[in-house]
Structure 1
Amino acid sequence: MLEFKLSRRGLLGAATSAAIASAFPAPFVRAQSERRIVFWHSYSQKERSDHMRLVANRFEQANPGVKVDIEVVPWPAFPQKWPAAAAAGTLPDVTILLAENAVPMSLAGALLPMDDVLASLGGADAFKGNIAIATGRFRDQQISIPHYVHNRLLVYRKDRLAEAGLKPPVTWDDALNAAVATTRAPDHFGWIPKLAKGDVGGGYLLWMMTRSANGSFFDKDGNVSFDSQPVRDATQFIIEIARKSGGPGVTDYKISDNFNLVNSGKTSLAEDSAAIVAGAAQKAPDVAAQLDATFMPKRERVGNLMGGISVALPKGSNPEDGNAFAKFLFTEENYLPFLLTIPLFMFPALKSAEGPAFFDNPTIQRFRNVVDVTLTGLQDSTLAGMEDGLNPYAGPVFNSYAVEDMFQRILLQDEPVEQAVAQTAKAIEKVVGDVKTRLDRG
């Protein structure tokens, strides 16, 4: 056991220091010692990561004595990382996160409210449509603020559709026909869905197709409605796409593989945001010249899926500076330049950023149809599983990878679709039940 002894001189020194400290106001004392902000983000691309470092440097210069430490946390790792950090008392002060991940964090008591940050930015009306409320308002508190948004699209190769004598797909049947017609194995395939284990690609795609059939994973009260005809029909559609146009190893691809699949020409169609076109414009310009996008194929409607990437304030060790840094991310000098670090990758959440400076960008102009489809889709778009508002069960369900496991069983073990959907519904109900139990305890 360690013992600490304090001499009379040390005691007097401590008393003197305390007297000096008490003679000055708290902000003065606070400014004399270095204050550390821990900032997590998932912007792994060099352009976006470098910009976040630049913003952090600007904040440090404007706030002497503050040091911003940045950690890049990959998107798939976040749902596991924050609970571990919460248990260890090492949560960051500011984080970028998928909007749906803010709900379980809030329920766990791991987030600070952001109502004052929202007010400082002009309130919910300063943001496009209803996205500030739809993606960040939970139990009468603002738990996150949208940093940027995008919408899932069906990106296609114009040259391959033209060669097949086809127009951009509109319906499920159109999409299946296009996927089959643009498959030239083993050189390239029509549509390679992302169905790998440990990824949310299968869950997102199934939700979009279920939504387009006027179904959902949950009813308006948050009850599981997975074992339904719209889910079964959507599952069957995706299975046909995978078997008829996905090629070998179709169960191995993750969302992050889309860039390589598109840039290499391996796939003719891809479900993704405009970011996939942005990546091609940078890395594969010849391929990008052949890319365009349309809405995801519909049965009864388009199942628009919003990507909401948000800022939140976890309960870290420096809430005061963390709050100020969160506001700083949205200032004019930082926000629009961030959106244009990789044009098409990110779309404005703030209305003020959606002006000439955004639309006059050469890449935005070049792919204006992709931009217009994105912006139109965002008018009728929601987070996955949250079409009736923020849902505490959606994030845990998608992060359980139950849907991806279902696709693996169907494709690799020939499990019948109806049986697989019923079994997956039970797995989802268990996830929801576990969340409800934790809520009751809380």
Structure 2
Amino acid sequence: MAKTTTRRQFLIGTAGAAGAALLGRAPTARGQQVRELQVWHTEVEPQTVKTIQDTSIAEFERKFPGFKVRQQALGWGDLNTKLLAALAAGSPPDLTHLNPFMTASLWKKGLLRPMDELIRALGEKDIHEATLKLQFFDGKYYGVTHAMGATYIAERRDLRAQKGLKAPETYEDFLKLTAALTDDGKRHGLQMPGEKLYIGFVHPAEWLASNGGSWVDAKTWRPQLNGRAMVSTLEYLQKLNKYMPAGWSGQRYLDTLAALSTGKVAMVYLSGARTIGYIERYAPEGMRDPEHFQPMFKPRGPSGQKGISALDGENWAVFTQSKYPNEAFEFLRIFYSREHYLKYCHTVPIHLTPIFKSMLNDPEYLGHPRIQKWRTWHDFMVTGLSQGRFLPIGFSRPDDNLLPFLAELDGSGIVADLIVEVMVGEKNPKAEADRAQKRAEELLTQLGFKRWS
């Protein structure tokens, strides 16, 4: 297991890494000693891992017999920890997924290789605008999204219909709906995931974006954790907490999906098309269908224009320290070939939505049985993309891809502490926001990102 490295140690340990970048190599010829191409990604479901092995890896190893590809499927948290340790040690994988909020920090340190040639080969104009330039810095591309997966609220649509209630547009609307769907002693109105990444980073970014706020001031980078957008959201969350199950902060994301499927809660705050698998596995017979379960857009705050939620889509990255960068790019060319990419996206239909606009309405893609049955979930995501309802994970605004400290803010636990103290601890929202603001200002100052006076 990789040794855990703090983000502060990582900042120090990789300061001179750019100068140690390896020169690109030509693909290995026959007869040479077998080499190992290290590929890390975040798609941990067995059918996805097997499909990558049977398609992209198999073809790559046929074309480059001097290589063996070793894939490692890692969860979000495991990926970030292991990757930071590998970079600090100077031995990262040749190719990996990155959470978009990490990319600017790594680019700033000179650790990423540009991939403009690959983007052009894939079809720059065909890559969806929601993902195309997430890793675009100084006129060059430094990443390409593996697939798009929208997140949203999942609801028991039949329960809301029985109440005759409309989909909520505002925080106040959502509070009323959650109260109406709560059946004391039988069913809670809502459940959120308790993991720090979600409650302390992903959701707060959404709440800020949905309420006219942002992580930091655009010019000075001064944190905005005690601004009106955050404080009014905290007041709303404190009210919302009473409609959630006791102990929710100790429950995991997948636990919430099971709770929705089995009728313990009427809505879950974090959902994607992966939820369909849980519904089809755990919901009662006769209810495993879109008539009972549907996605819902997240509400907006009093200062927001529309509800925003996270677009789940890590980007592929190749490092300046990668041992075999040329081969890594060749692997991606194979991965995105139509035949292999369709099979990849079909391993988790709708959640692994293609990044190519030409494929979104492709009959072959849409012909998958699960997409046909749950077509309303696919159409919901397409609608959300067209309405600008999604931002990358951890982003409070589109330009957050340029902030080089989001990974450090996430890892600090400052925002997670704030949310839990207010929701679970029932502490004063403004006082806790002021405390978090002070901690965040100290963090950015220590990291050398203070621009305010």
- TM-score bracket relative to the smaller structure: 0.7 to 0.9
Distance in 2 of aligned mates of 1:147 and 1:113: 16
Distance in 2 of aligned mates of 1:256 and 1:102: 27
| Residue equivalent to 1:291 | 293
> Is 1:403 the counterpart of 2:415 in the alignment?
yes
Picking from 306, 313, 318, the partner of 1:308 is: 313
Alignment check: 8 A CA contact 2:237 2:423 kept: no
Quick check: which has more Rg, 1 or 2? Answer: 1
| Residue equivalent to 1:44 | 44
Matches within 5 A, 1:312-323: 312-314=317-319, 315-323=321-329
Distance of aligned partners of 1:346 and 1:285 in 2 relative to their CA distance in 1, 3 Å threshold:
farther
| Cα-to-partner distance string for 1:349-377 (whole Å, 9 max, x where unaligned) | 12232222222323223223322221222
Q: Which aligned segments of 4 or more residues in structure 1 are displaced greater than 6 angstroms?
A: 25-28
| Residue equivalent to 1:274 | 272
Query: Which deviates more, 353-362 or 338-347?
Result: 353-362
Matches within 5 A, 1:118-267: 118-123=119-124, 125-133=125-133, 135-196=134-195, 198-221=196-219, 222-242=221-241, 244-267=242-265
**Structure 2 unaligned residues grouped into runs of 5+:** 1-24
2:189 counterpart SS class: strand
| Cα-to-partner distance string for 1:272-319 (whole Å, 9 max, x where unaligned) | 343243323542354542101121112332224322221111332111
Q: CA deviation at 1:29?
A: 5.5
Distance in 2 of aligned mates of 1:88 and 1:210: 36
Distance of aligned partners of 1:265 and 1:62 in 2 relative to their CA distance in 1, 3 Å threshold:
farther
Alignment check: 8 A CA contact 2:238 2:426 kept: no
Distance of aligned partners of 1:194 and 1:146 in 2 relative to their CA distance in 1, 3 Å threshold:
same
Distance of aligned partners of 1:297 and 1:130 in 2 relative to their CA distance in 1, 3 Å threshold:
closer
CA RMSD of aligned residues (A): 2.5
Distance in 1 of aligned mates of 2:446 and 2:49: 36
Distance of aligned partners of 1:130 and 1:177 in 2 relative to their CA distance in 1, 3 Å threshold:
closer
**Structure 1 unaligned residues grouped into runs of 5+:** 1-24
Identical columns (%) = 22
Q: CA deviation at 1:228?
A: 0.8
TM-score between the two structures when normalised by the length of structure 2: 0.84
| Residue equivalent to 1:377 | 384
Query: Which deviates more, 362-371 or 418-427?
Result: 362-371
> Is 1:359 the counterpart of 2:366 in the alignment?
yes
Alignment check: 8 A CA contact 1:51 1:338 kept: yes
Distance in 2 of aligned mates of 1:75 and 1:155: 21
Distance of aligned partners of 1:201 and 1:149 in 2 relative to their CA distance in 1, 3 Å threshold:
farther
Alignment check: 8 A CA contact 1:207 1:217 kept: yes
1:272 counterpart SS class: strand
Distance of aligned partners of 1:369 and 1:28 in 2 relative to their CA distance in 1, 3 Å threshold:
closer
Alignment check: 8 A CA contact 1:111 1:313 kept: yes
| Cα-to-partner distance string for 1:192-228 (whole Å, 9 max, x where unaligned) | 12244x3333432222222222122223334422221
1:305 counterpart SS class: strand
Alignment check: 8 A CA contact 1:40 1:70 kept: yes
Alignment check: 8 A CA contact 1:218 1:385 kept: no
| Residue equivalent to 2:336 | 330
Residue type of the partner of 1:38?
A: Q
Alignment check: 8 A CA contact 1:149 1:347 kept: yes
Q: CA deviation at 1:386?
A: 4.0
| Residue equivalent to 2:111 | 110
Alignment check: 8 A CA contact 1:304 1:377 kept: no
Larger helix percent: 1
| Residue equivalent to 1:388 | 399
1:414 counterpart SS class: coil
1:413 counterpart SS class: coil
Q: CA deviation at 1:421?
A: 1.0
